[in-house]
Structure formats: C-alpha cells, structure tokens
C-alpha cells in the first residue's frame, strides 16, 4: 500500500528565504506526483504536476523535482513571501488514485 | 468557468439523518472523486467515478453511497449519518486517468 510522508509537518521562515519542502513515498511505481497548496478553510489549488518520466517541473518561483527510484520529491520555493503561507500537500498517482501526504504547514514571517 | 463547485458549504446533521452532497464541474472532465479531510489523517478517497454511470470504491467507502447520473455531477450520499462522519468533504475532477486533479471549495459537515 502506497504511503506518502511529508517532513517537516510545520516550518516557519523569514521573508525572502529560499526553502525546500520534502515528500517521500514507499512505492516507486508511480505515474505522476502532484503538489497542492491549501489555505485555511479553503480547497486545494494545484501547483505543479510532475510526470514519472520527468525530473523537474517549474512554475514561477516554484520548482518541483522527482527522484522516482528513491521515492522522493521536493518543492523548492524561491524568495519566499508572506503570501506563500499555507499548507502544502503532495499526492502520488499510482495503481490507485491519488494518495496524499499530511502536508507541511508553512509560515513566512514578514 | 466556475471549475468545481460544491453544495452546500456547511451543514449540521443529527445522528441518523440523511443528506446528499452535490459536486458539479463545468470542465467536461470524465473522472470525478470524493475525499474527506480529517485532522491528523490527511485526505482520503471515499469513492470515485471514471465516467457517467460508473462508480468505484476508494479507501474509506463505508457509510457512503455515490451516483454519477450526469457527466458533470457527482453526488455523495449519507444514508444514516454518524458522528464519525464529521469532516470536511472535497470533490475533485480530472480530464484523464491519473491526470491533474482540480478541487472544489469543500463542504464542512458536522454530525451531532
């Protein structure tokens, strides 16, 4: 059974820092991995989807990497801003529909 | 486009009552999903549909039923609500199998 882990559970950084969020999964037989953002009391917003054949995917200040063989993905956020404060979730598409991690709650302090 | 919408936004039920949550999408997506989100548990898949008229069980299907009579709508039913079903329910859709999923704003359900 696929399990997805996100470490750390919470992270607080000063504005302007570059940061990395981590996601690991136990079954490397995946089709793709999706990163989401969730603001308090809101739904999920898709940030990036990275296919199993890709190593990286970029959107603006965000860069997601995928190492399928080691079961790891990272989300890099450059020059963080207070507006980036939210919970970030990764989810893996494999033989079953999306399996989610529990998220990393990010606070960017002005 | 409205994307994925959910009705209602909030609801309080008493134990044993029934209700239906409605999910609608205007993106002509084939695939639709129902999740629940609980503190400390993350998001878990309840049921999903790969097209009009089809449904399948996810990780936590017990106590729920679903129907997909129209391509744009996916209904989640609770026949006899229990306090353990207190949760935030999210609907999502995607255009293809294992494709990028788009989420609705959620329904916050409390069962007393």
Concatenated DSSP letters of A33-48: EEEEEE-TTS-EEEEE
Instruction: Supply the pLDDT for residue A37.
Output: 97
Please say if the pLDDT value at position A49 is more than 90.
yes
- Chain B closest CA to A47's CA: distance in Å? 10
Which residue in B29, B101, B93 sits closest to A31, CA to CA? B101
Q: Using an 8 Å Cβ cutoff, are A92 and A98 in contact?
A: yes
Instruction: Supply the pLDDT for residue B7.
Output: 97
- When scoring B36, B49, B74, B98 by the number of chain A Cβ atoms within 10 A, the one with the most, hence best to mutate, is B98
Please say if the pLDDT value at position B12 is more than 80.
yes
């Amino acid at each position: 059974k696929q399990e997805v882990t996100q470490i750390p559970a919470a992270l607080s950084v000063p504005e302007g820092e570059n940061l990395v969020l981590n996601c690991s999964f136990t079954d490397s037989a995946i089709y793709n991995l999706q990163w989401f953002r969730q603001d308090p009391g809101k739904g999920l917003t898709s940030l990036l989807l990275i296919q199993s054949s890709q190593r990286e995917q970029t959107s603006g200040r965000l860069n997601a990497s995928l190492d399928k063989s080691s079961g790891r993905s990272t989300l890099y956020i450059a020059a963080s801003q207070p507006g980036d404060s939210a919970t970030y979730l990764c989810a893996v598409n494999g033989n079953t529909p999306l399996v989610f991690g529990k998220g990393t709650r990010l606070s960017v302090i002005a | 486009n409205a994307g994925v919408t959910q009705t209602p936004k909030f609801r309080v039920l008493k134990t044993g009552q029934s209700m239906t949550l409605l999910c609608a999408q205007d993106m002509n997506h084939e695939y639709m999903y129902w999740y629940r989100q609980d503190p400390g548990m993350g998001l878990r898949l309840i049921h999903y549909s790969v097209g009009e008229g089809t449904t399948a069980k996810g990780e936590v299907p017990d106590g729920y039923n679903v129907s997909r009579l129209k391509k744009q709508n996916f209904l989640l039913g609770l026949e006899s609500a229990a306090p353990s079903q207190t949760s935030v329910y999210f609907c999502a859709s995607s255009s293809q199998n294992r494709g990028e999923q788009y989420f609705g704003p959620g329904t916050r359900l409390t069962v007393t």
